[in-house]
Amino acid sequence: MSFTEFFVKFNDFNFELTTRGGVDFEKVGEKLLKSNSSQIIIDFSINGYTNKPNFDIEVNKLKWSEVKIFYKSGLEAQKDSEALTIKRAIRVLANSTSEYIIKTKCKTPLQRYNISNKRELCHLGAHFICKEEDAAQVLLMWTEFDKRRKTKIAESVSRIFELRFRK
pLDDT at 18 over 70: no
- Helix (H) or strand (E) segment spanning residue 125: none
Q: What is the mean pLDDT of residues 111-134?
A: 94
CA atoms of 143 and 140, how far apart (whole Å): 5
Q: At 154, is the pLDDT very low, low, confident or very high (cuts 50, 70, 90)?
A: very high
Q: What is the mean pLDDT of residues 108-120?
A: 91
Q: At 20, is the pLDDT very low, low, confident or very high (cuts 50, 70, 90)?
A: low
CA atoms of 157 and 138, how far apart (whole Å): 8
pLDDT at 36 over 80: yes
Q: Which residue has the higher pLDDT, 21 or 74?
A: 74
CA 83-88-89 angle, 5° bins? 100
The whole-number pLDDT of residue 19 equals 59
Q: What is the pTM of this model?
A: 0.86
Instruction: Evaluate whether 110 touches 98 at the Cβ level (below 8 Å).
Output: no
The whole-number pLDDT of residue 79 equals 86
Side chain identity at residue 53, one-letter code: P
CA atoms of 31 and 50, how far apart (whole Å): 21
Side chain identity at residue 154, one-letter code: A
pLDDT at 134 over 70: yes
The whole-number pLDDT of residue 167 equals 72
The whole-number pLDDT of residue 22 equals 82
